[in-house]
Amino acid sequence: MLGAMFLNFLMALLEVIGGIFSGSLALISDALHNINDFFALLISYLAEIISKNKKSNLKHTFGFRRVEILSALLNGVLLLGVFLFLIVEAFHRIKSPKEVEGIQTVIIGVIGLVGNILGALLLHEDSHHNLNIKGAFLHLISDAISSVGVIIGAMFIIFYKLYIADTIISLLIAGFILYSSIDLIKETLHILMEGTPREVDINEIQKLICKIPGVRDIHHIHVWQVSTKDYLLSAHVVVEDQKVSEAEKIVSQIKDTLREKFNINHSTLEIESETYFKEKECQCEY
């Protein structure tokens, strides 16, 4: 992440200077996007340090792992801010067109593309299992796509003198940023609202648990996330009337199943005897 931050800062600095001298709104837009991404990466980096090093305590019994999600949400909001800025600037440019230096824009656009691709490659692997890093990765991918747009727009300016292409590319970049930010915000809000993880099927959980010998029913199932990788579950499990020690063996089997099949490493199970559950119909079928 530090490597990606360094590359992003260099690309932003280069594009700001290049955008001013070439007059390219698309290049300046991409530069501002890179500046925003630098701060997004910085926030993500600090969030990773906090979530890993701040231990749980009596006031925060799950530690500070939720910082990862809050950071991803903030990154999504920052992307929305960039989108609004680009829309306003593109509107002004349409009203007052300006000449753009196509060759300078192409050169800087290519350098920016290479830098963004290298930064994205540094984060690609971890982006699959960490929502915070995924947010940073999406920033860099959107930057890379923006750089491609800048290059295409500059080519139209060089060969056809279509200066409006620069503004059109800026609007396309803004549209992609909007799409990325909404998707990231939706995912983070789903977690903050204690939504069921998208990879988890509660009906499938019920079916598998019901296959464990001695289990008569499982209900009041709740599954949620503290962070991208931390799934939690609580449920009531109805078992045959038996010794506590035997019931504990069933609980252990259930937890093993949850861990192996659904990646749920923290589960809280309340055991109920079928003697006191007889007034209700058991859901498990044999």
Three-state SS letters, the chain: CHHHHHHHHHHHHHHHHHHHHHCCHHHHHHHHHHHHHHHHHHHHHHHHHHHHHCCCCCCCCCCCCCHHHHHHHHHHHHHHHHHHHHHHHHHHHHHCCCCCCHHHHHHHHHHHHHHHHHHHHHHCCHHHCCHHHHHHHHHHHHHHHHHHHHHHHHHHHHHHCCCHHHHHHHHHHHHHHHHHHHHHHHHHHHHHCCCCCCCCCHHHHHHHHHCCCCEEEEEEEEEEECCCCCEEEEEEEEECCCCHHHHHHHHHHHHHHHHHHHCEEEEEEEEEECCCCCCCCCCCCC
- Closest listed residue to residue 252, CA positions, set 194, 206, 213: 213
pLDDT surpassing 70 at residue 95: yes
**pLDDT reported for residue 7:** 82
pLDDT surpassing 70 at residue 82: yes
Mean pLDDT for 128-139 is: 72
**pLDDT reported for residue 277:** 64
Band (pLDDT 50/70/90 cuts) for residue 267 is: very high
pLDDT surpassing 60 at residue 54: yes
pTM exceeding 0.85: no
**pLDDT reported for residue 103:** 85
Residue 81 vs residue 68, higher pLDDT:
81
CB within 8 Å of 196: residues ≥ 6 apart: 202, 223, 224
Round to whole Å and give the CA distance between 132 and 74: 10
pLDDT surpassing 60 at residue 62: yes
Please provide residue 255's backbone torsions phi and psi, each rounded to the nearest 5 degrees. Answer: -65, -35
Residue pair 152/27 in contact (Cβ under 8 Å)? The answer is no
Task: Work out the mean pLDDT of the chain and round it to a whole number.
Answer: 82
Round to whole Å and give the CA distance between 112 and 17: 12
Pairing assessment for the beta strands 215-225 and 264-273 based on DSSP bridges = unpaired
Q: Which two tokens stand for residue 61?
A: 């019994």
CA 226 to mean position of chain CA atoms: 14
CA 25 to mean position of chain CA atoms: 28
**pLDDT reported for residue 233:** 96
**pLDDT reported for residue 285:** 57
**pLDDT reported for residue 286:** 44
Residue pair 149/172 in contact (Cβ under 8 Å)? The answer is yes
| Range among 19-23, 62-66, 100-104, 151-155 with highest mean pLDDT value | 151-155
Residue found by looking up tokens 């809050």 in the block: 70
Residue 177 vs residue 201, higher pLDDT:
201
pLDDT surpassing 70 at residue 63: yes
